[in-house]
Amino acid sequence: MSAKRHEGSLYGSKKKKRVRGCVDRVTGGIVVVVIKHPDEPDVYQEIYVPIEKFTKRTPQEGDYVSVEIEDNS
């Protein structure tokens, strides 16, 4: 590898964690997953995941799925 990667590079510098959520809707090839906000337990957050990320089966509304999000801690 000829190019040097520095500590602030975009290649794998963000840590990810897996969280559990519920599928709210599937529209236009996008699965909308609702999760609890990591910092505020009373707030919910929508995560938009391309349907291609689900390789085993296509999720339906109401299904529980796990998704990867960026870990900001």
The whole-number average pLDDT for the span 33-45 is: 88
Whether 41 maps to a domain, the answer reads yes
Q: 51 φ, ψ to 5°?
A: -65, -20
The whole-number average pLDDT for the span 22-39 is: 91
- 24 band by pLDDT with thresholds 50, 70 and 90: very high
Q: Is the pLDDT at 1 greater than 90, yes or no?
A: no
Q: How many CA atoms lie within 13 A of 2 on its CB side?
A: 0
Whether 2 maps to a domain, the answer reads no
Q: What is the dihedral of CA 14, 6, 9, 36, to 10 degrees?
A: 10
Whether 21 maps to a domain, the answer reads yes
Whether 10 maps to a domain, the answer reads no
| CATH at residue 33 | 2.40.50
- Tell me the average pLDDT of the chain: 82
Q: Is the pLDDT at 32 greater than 50, yes or no?
A: yes
Our count of domains for the chain comes to 1
> Between residues 25 and 9, which one has the greater pLDDT?
25
Domain span at 38: 16-70
Whether 62 maps to a domain, the answer reads yes
Whether 52 maps to a domain, the answer reads yes
